[in-house]
Amino acid sequence: MFKALDLDHLAVATRDLDAAINTYRENFGLEAERWGEVPALGIRNAVLPVGEAFIELITPLTGEGPVARFLEERGEGMYLISIAVDDLDAAMADLRERGVRVMGEPVPIEGGRMAFVHPSSTHGVLLQLVQRGPAAE
Amino acid sequence: MIKKIHHVGIVVRDIEQAFAFYRDTLGLPVHKMDTVVDQDVKAALLTLGHSEIELLEPLSTTSGIGRFLERRGEGIHHLCFETDDVAAELERVKAQGVEVIDQAPRPGLAGMICFLHPRATHGVLVEFAQP
């Protein structure tokens, strides 16, 4: 068994990261705490803390890959919901047993490990499950 | 001032079916469920730590949520920020020239709420709520 702990973050796909950072500052008073490139995911991102969660603004590094395709097909908008769980391996096993379409195996990210659940199992939402832990900090 | 992400809204065809994943598989408790008559929508709020997931099922194809479902299918619909003064927050963004949908706060499932236009936030439909 696993437990969903909290909303970890929301990722928002944008065409112009700097313009989006300005918009979130001006409209909502949110500040980018850190930003950079995540070559493994083919994106540039900025992290904007809000309460216990954060908004991650992302933009593709090239014209290829899932985020570029998302922008092409749907335009700018919310890309994924990330939920923090207490035990990612238990979650993967539990979800698979229930017939939920989990995509691949957990991969390391900044401050933890994550895996994706396919939108066909979540009513159209690209869902990320993340286990935060000191080991990966 | 924006305090936190109050909820993320997800449009689904059938709330009861969506409960199979969000309530039963992820284990998120449903703490509120109601029909919002003026929006022709059935909505449920499920607790997720400091935030919530809102499931929205349209009750007609002509409502805003119904048109979204027809056009884009099930998926993420909006993001709601919690504020302790929704009227002040709305006035602040209007004074900045931000395009809004609601000119004044109105009652919603999450308290007094208002929506900004997605054009104002790079394609994201943003709601402010004062629970």
The one-letter code for the residue type at A69 is R
Q: For the whole model, what pTM was predicted?
A: 0.96
Q: Residue A134: its pLDDT value, please? A: 61
Question: Given this model, what pLDDT does residue A13 score?
Answer: 98
- Are B60 and B69 in contact, with CB atoms under 8 Å apart? no
Contact A45, A60 (CB under 8 A): no
Predicted local confidence at residue B36, as pLDDT: 86
Res. A99: pLDDT tops 80: yes
Task: Tell me whether A108 touches chain B (CB under 8 Å).
Answer: no
Whether residue B79 and residue A78 make contact (CB cut-off 8 A), yes or no, is yes
N-to-C CA span, chain A: 25
E strands in chain B: 2-11, 30-36, 41-48, 51-58, 75-83, 106-108, 111-115, 126-130
Question: Would an 8 Å CB–CB cutoff place A99 in contact with chain B?
Answer: no
Question: If you ran DSSP here, which 8-state letter would residue B24 be given?
Answer: I
Q: Does position A29 have pLDDT exceeding 60, yes or no?
A: yes
Average pLDDT estimate for A40-61? 96
Spell out, as residue ranges, where chain B has pLDDT lower than 70: none
Distances (CA, A) of B106 to B45, B65, B120, B130: 18, 17, 20, 10
Predicted confidence (pLDDT) at residue A137 exceeds the cutoff of 90: no
Contacts with A75 from chain B: Cβ below 8 Å: 123
Closest Cα of chain A to B13: distance in Å?
A: 8
Residue A35 predicted with pLDDT over 50: yes
Residue pair B79/B124 in contact by the 8 Å Cβ criterion: yes
pLDDT tens, residue by residue, B58-92? 999 998 999 999 999 999 999 999 999 999 999 99
Q: Is the pLDDT of residue A45 over 50?
A: yes
Q: Which pLDDT value is given to residue A40?
A: 84
Query: Could you tell me what percent of chain A has a pLDDT over 90?
Result: 89
The nearest CA of chain A is from the CA of B104 a distance in Å of 17
pLDDT recorded at residue A1? 87
Residue A136 has pLDDT above 50, yes or no: no
* Contact between chains at B124 and A78 (C-beta distance less than 8 A): yes
Mean pLDDT of all residues belonging to chain A:
94
The least confident of A90-99, A127-136, B3-12, B16-25 is A127-136
Query: Which residues of chain A lie closer than 8 angstroms to B98, CB-CB?
Result: 27
